[in-house]
Structure 1
């Protein structure tokens, strides 16, 4: 049983590493603002179109930036959930014998 738990911890570490290599995006106004995040919800880039930046007022820019960040984080949540579901399915298949199945 201890081996199975160690394997599960190792799998969780692998998922975290994999999520660090996955890029997700949130964008608004047709790409005027684009936020990039890892699958682990670390924001890695924010891009604001120069022409949009010149025309936008501060309040609009802040609101749209917030929306783009939240979209990127929502994408990261989806990717993370998908990775965890796949790993859990694999792990439960391997744990079946542990419970007399």
Structure 2
């Protein structure tokens, strides 16, 4: 029974560490730029988009689809960077073990 209590205690400690790491990730930011800096997106480590900046030169009323593609690419790249950062930091905590629902 003692072994089970130790295991539960270790799980609780790990859960607190993961929760703290997730809170810290929510404060960290990554940035992605596309189109030579025409569109820049900032996202947090918890995959929240914080800002989108569009260079006025990218705004061409005759070519709105190009701007839409740039925004989409920048958002996807920022989210990828954010996820990679979260996986790296959480992986360090869990010894590389994937825990479902952690990200």
Band the TM-score falls in, shorter-chain normalisation: 0.7 to 0.9
What stretches of structure 1 move > 3 A for 4+ residues in a row? Answer: none
Alignment partner of 1:68 out of 56, 65, 74: 74
Contact 2:58 2:67 survives alignment (8 Å): no
Asked if residue 79 in structure 1 is aligned to residue 85 in structure 2, the reply is yes
For 1:38-49, list aligned pairs within 5 A: 38-49=44-55
The aligned length equals: 89
2:101 alignment partner in structure 1: none
For 1:1-101, list aligned pairs within 5 A: 1-54=7-60, 57-89=63-95
1:99 alignment partner in structure 2: none
Runs of 5+ in structure 1 lacking a partner?
90-101
Q: TM-score, normalised by structure 1?
A: 0.81
Aligned CA RMSD, in angstroms, stands at: 1.4
Q: TM-score, normalised by structure 2?
A: 0.80
Return the structure number with greater relative CO, CA threshold 8 A, min gap 6. 1
Runs of 5+ in structure 2 lacking a partner?
1-6, 96-103
